[in-house]
Amino acid sequence: LFSVCPSRWEGLPVACLEAMASGRAVVATAVDGIPDAVLPGETGLLVPAEDAGALATAMSALLADPALRERLGRRGEAVARERFAWPIVAGRYLEVLAEAATGR
């Protein structure tokens, strides 16, 4: 139905991105790199880290609302493919490395 990513810390949230690319809505904690991928109310629901009550509320909201799950899942799939496909991410890494090599 949806994926839950209750991380305390996270760089590039690969598990969230995999779920999004599969068309699943995501409930995740708003830590580190997760809000760059999981856009609140657009591709998933974000909750504070270490807040079990907020996590349960968000999960309950997705369980109770199939239309919301579907909307978040569709948009999440599009965002994952548009912004986080491996060729795009690899290109960004190459840009960062090139800038570092030239001292910019």
pTM: 0.85
At 103, the pLDDT band (50, 70, 90 cuts) reads: confident
Q: Give the pLDDT mean for 58-80.
A: 98
SS3 readout for 55-75: HHHHHHHHHHCHHHHHHHHHH
Q: 27 lies in which domain range?
A: 2-102
What is residue 6's predicted lDDT score, i.e. its pLDDT? 96
Which CATH number fits the domain that encloses residue 34?
A: 3.40.50.2000
Q: Is-contact 3 16, C-beta < 8 A?
A: yes
What is residue 102's predicted lDDT score, i.e. its pLDDT? 92
User: What is the identity of the amino acid at 67?
Assistant: A
What's the number of domains the chain is made of?
A: 1
The tens digit of pLDDT for each residue in 10-52 reads: 888 999 999 999 999 999 999 999 999 999 999 999 999 999 9
What is d(CA 23, CA 61) in angstroms, rounded to the nearest whole number?
A: 17
What is d(CA 30, CA 8) in angstroms, rounded to the nearest whole number?
A: 9
What is residue 30's predicted lDDT score, i.e. its pLDDT? 98
